[in-house]
Amino acid sequence: MARRKIPVYLDIDLLECSPVGIPSYPDAHKGIMEQISKAKWTTAYINDLPDSSFAVIERGGKKDSEGKTVPRTYRHLPYKDADGKVDLPHLRNALARMNQIVAVSPDDSTDRIRAAAKRVLSSVAERYLKTQQEEKMAKDVLKQEGSEMVEQPSEKEQPAEPDKKEEVSEEVAQTETTLQEETTAESEQKEASNSVEDLKKEFNTVKKELDELKELKKGLIAELNKTLDEIRVLRKGYSDLDKNVSSDIEVPKYEKGMDENKFFEKVGLALEKSGLFKV
């Protein structure tokens, strides 16, 4: 179904009024004239507004004694009154004109002030333009740079409100999923912690065994050195025995394949018998 387009007049100048004999609402003209009077701000009134009443202020200006930027032409798109309250007619007007402002300061650019005005006014419009039509107007203005035609979906095309039960079910399911993920993460963290503790214990065990092996190595080296010393003594004694003993003492001779223990045992007995060395 085609969407209806409703024209939204962003700025209206009242040029003519036609009186009627019997108005349906006798005081209607009072409200209209009062609204027009409030919406119309004079140049003097605008110049007297504080800087905070404007959507954007160009760079390069100076502050006067009241803290307001001079020259006044550096200030663009007033949308707050002298009391700091947002004025809806001027807010709508600022939305329509924000892509038409031009920088006059040599220290600033048109692109920057338009972008800055867009950021400020879009935030204010979302907060203060409450009706669906006005919100749509603000969004279209921001997207289409001041378009005056706003699309409004027909009543048949209005999206149906979601079922509250379905929303609750989705929230419960999402909560359960989150809890399950947190539980899984805690379990994995605990397993990782246990693995670290096991590795520490295994490391300490290996370190202890390594220390024991080092001590055993020291003992073996000491025994080996002692054995080597004994062998050197026996060899020296054997040499002396061969040179100095009398002919009646049999000096053992080492032959290939002979048991070394038995050989050195015979050498020791011969040395003891000769008196050169006592085993």
Model confidence band, residue 169 (pLDDT cutoffs 50, 70, 90): low
Torsion of CA 46, 49, 55, 61, to 10 degrees: 100
Q: Is the pLDDT of residue 15 over 50?
A: no
Contact 267, 252 (CB under 8 A): yes
Contact yes or no for 75/62 (Cβ under 8 A)? no
* pLDDT at position 266 over 90: no
* Residue 148: per-residue pLDDT: 42
Rounded mean pLDDT, 145-151: 43
87 C-beta neighbours (distance < 10 Å), count = 19
108 half-sphere exposure, CB direction, 13 A CA radius? 21
At 179, phi and psi to the nearest 5? -65, -40
pLDDT band of residue 165 (cuts 50, 70, 90) is low
Which one is predicted more confidently, 150 or 250? 250
Which pLDDT score, from 0 to 100, does residue 150 have? 39
Q: Are strands 69-70 and 149-152 parallel, antiparallel or unpaired?
A: unpaired
Asked whether the predicted pLDDT for residue 80 surpasses 90, the reply is: yes
Q: Is 267 left (phi over 0), alpha (psi -120 to 50) or beta?
A: alpha
- Residue range 213-249, pLDDT digits in tens: 999 998 989 888 888 887 777 777 666 656 655 556 6
The Cα 176–Cα 193 span in angstroms is 25
Whether the link from the prior residue into 162 is cis, omega within 30° of 0, is no
